[in-house]
With several copies, the nearest count.
Chain A
Amino acid sequence: MTATLHTAPVTVPDTTDQRVVRRRLGPGHRIRFSFWFGPTLALAIWSIGSATGLIKPAILSAPWDVVVAFQDQWVNHDLLGNIVASLQRSLVGLTLGVVTGAVLAVISGLSRFGESLIDGPIQIKRSVPTLAIIPLFIAWFGIGEEMKVITIALISLVPIYIHTHNGLRGIDGKYAELAETIGINHGEFVRHVVLPGALPGFLLGMRFAVTSSLLGLVVVEHYNAVAGIGYMITLAEQYGQTDVIVVGLVIYGIFGYCADSAVRFTGRRVLAWRQTLEG
């Protein structure tokens, strides 16, 4: 039997780092600035396509023409006002939709009876084109701001509901068991287990809800709007002003992309407890 008690550690600081190199199967680290890759690439393709004539201006205006149209809209047609009007609408609608959707999802997620009442109608609602429901909404809420906000709320409610419901139902049953033995009431269960557990799902829903609320503008601003990006696009479509349409689309693209990235960024923050392939 040999017992070697440990001797003092090596004194020369050797900071060689030679690790076991194992093929990484996950996606690895986030690339810095990768946020800019996609848009830059899209812009590059668009510019090159337009410059070489592969993309005809009749089909898609060149970026530089869009810049000119943008300036024109900004200076002469109150583009800022349009943007603000639209953002306001979609923000109010989104907030309404997100709150209602999340509440409905929790009710229907935690009670089979609630589910049987809530789930079917929502599934049916989402199978039916929004455009086709608008007449109903006009009848109920008029053609004013109310109808627009409610329509957007209903559009963004759907992804929030479905994702939160799905996320909630995907919570590992063992945490519910734990909560049962801890002796908490339904409210605490929702706050401490259901909401955090469904949060990844909810956030994914948010990504869809945000874009839906923006896209919904195109539909609702058909109706009795005098400002808004959707209105601008609608008008431009009727006149066939491709460059103005593209201005609208670019604004949509920018807002959508930024909002989406913001939700994903928030997600990475608030989901710090997860150890997943996202890393």
Chain B
Amino acid sequence: MATDARGLTTEPAVRVRNLHRSFNSDGGVLNGLDLDIAPGEFVALIGRSGTGKSTLLRALAGLDRDVAGHGRIQVPESVSVVFQDSRLLPWKRVLDNVVFGLRGAGAADRGRKALAEVGLAGRERAWPYQLSGGEQQRASLARSLVREPQLLLADEPFGALDALTRIRMHALLRRLCETHRPAVLLVTHDVDEAIVLADRVILLDAGVVDTDVRVELTNRSRSDAGFAELRSLLLDRLGVAADA
């Protein structure tokens, strides 16, 4: 059970118990996974390619009706997902993709603002195919952020971004988290990114949470000793020598 900043036990935003999922008979992808995420908590999820990170996210998003398995899942009402593929509707222009499903008068303006924040001002009327890979990813991020959900599930939202753009997106995401305090589960392959952004980093292996570390660094700079220590711990669990 999670504890809040004052050490009090709170009802978690996400609660997963004994989650099993398998795509075929010869072995499960998730094998009895347990996970709690407190409201407003930022959890980074790392793990090898093909360990089941996306599978877990899809289970939390309720998109795996047809996948065999069992377990218990509780999530908040409003969930927003950034998919691993950016999944823009090809028949909607970028702005329409961002505000898709938003109601109310200010929707278009909010969408425009979100696009500007991810560096796509001026591309509102482009078709998705006219965007570069990273631009598509950012548009997809904008679509999720503009919704201000209680739970944000993001599947490698920065994978196709260069260092600078990535830092800007980090800042944007952090800012939004401070304002609306959603619970966040962010999949990333970049251990540094995980440590920089998250309150907690969990490592998925063999279908369960293999490692679960709380990031309690005051200085989240790479040169910090705690940072390096955490980094080597995680890389070690991933099977990599920290200096590789």
Give the B-binding residues of A (Cβ under 8 A).
Answer: 1-6, 9-10, 14-22, 24, 174-175, 177-184, 188, 192-193, 196-197, 199, 272-275
CB of A141, distance to nearest CB on chain B (Å): 39
Question: Contacts of A24 on B, CB cut-off 8 Å?
Answer: 65
Number of interface residues of B (CB under 8 A): 50
Q: Are A180 and B90 in contact (CB under 8 A)?
A: no
B116 at the interface (CB under 8 A from A): no
User: With A10-B32, A18-B73 in contact, is A2–B62 under 8 Å at CB?
Assistant: no
Question: Contacts of B229 on A, CB cut-off 8 Å?
Answer: 1
Say what secondary structure dominates the interface of chain B: mixed
CB of A4, distance to nearest CB on chain B (Å): 5
Q: Are B75 and A15 in contact (CB under 8 A)?
A: no
User: With A2-B214, A20-B59 in contact, is A184–B101 under 8 Å at CB?
Assistant: yes
CB of A192, distance to nearest CB on chain B (Å): 6
B210 at the interface (CB under 8 A from A): yes
Q: Are A181 and B61 in contact (CB under 8 A)?
A: yes
Q: Are A188 and B101 in contact (CB under 8 A)?
A: yes
B230 at the interface (CB under 8 A from A): yes
User: With A1-B226, A16-B72, A188-B101 in contact, is A10–B89 under 8 Å at CB?
Assistant: no
Question: Contacts of B23 on A, CB cut-off 8 Å?
Answer: none
User: With A16-B71, A19-B65 in contact, is A1–B89 under 8 Å at CB?
Assistant: no
CB of B123, distance to nearest CB on chain A (Å): 15
Q: A17-B71, A181-B62 are in contact. List 4 more A-B contacts (CB 8 A).
A: A4-B213, A17-B70, A22-B61, A273-B129
Question: Contacts of A16 on B, CB cut-off 8 Å?
Answer: 18, 70-72
A199 to B91, alpha carbons, bound, how many Å?
10
Q: Are A20 and B210 in contact (CB under 8 A)?
A: no
A197 to B90, alpha carbons, bound, how many Å?
9
Residue of B nearest to A18 (CB): B72
Question: Contacts of A272 on B, CB cut-off 8 Å?
Answer: 127
B211 at the interface (CB under 8 A from A): yes
Residue of B nearest to A184 (CB): B101
Residue in A4, A183, A196 whose beta carbon sits within 8 Å of that of B89 in the complex: A196
A181 to B77, alpha carbons, bound, how many Å?
11
Residue of A nearest to B212 (CB): A4
B208 at the interface (CB under 8 A from A): yes
Please tell me which stretch of B80-88, B104-112, B172-180, B183-191 contacts chain A, meaning at least 4 of its Cβ atoms lie within 8 angstroms of it.
Answer: B80-88
B9 at the interface (CB under 8 A from A): no
**Can you give 7 contacting A-B residue pairs, CB < 8 Å?**
A1-B226, A9-B32, A15-B70, A20-B73, A181-B80, A192-B92, A273-B129
Question: Contacts of A177 on B, CB cut-off 8 Å?
Answer: 63, 83, 87
Q: Are B62 and A178 in contact (CB under 8 A)?
A: no
B215 at the interface (CB under 8 A from A): yes
Residue of B nearest to A12 (CB): B18
Q: Are B75 and A1 in contact (CB under 8 A)?
A: no
Question: Contacts of A3 on B, CB cut-off 8 Å?
Answer: 211-213, 233
Residue in B62, B69, B92 whose beta carbon sits within 8 Å of that of A20 in the complex: B62
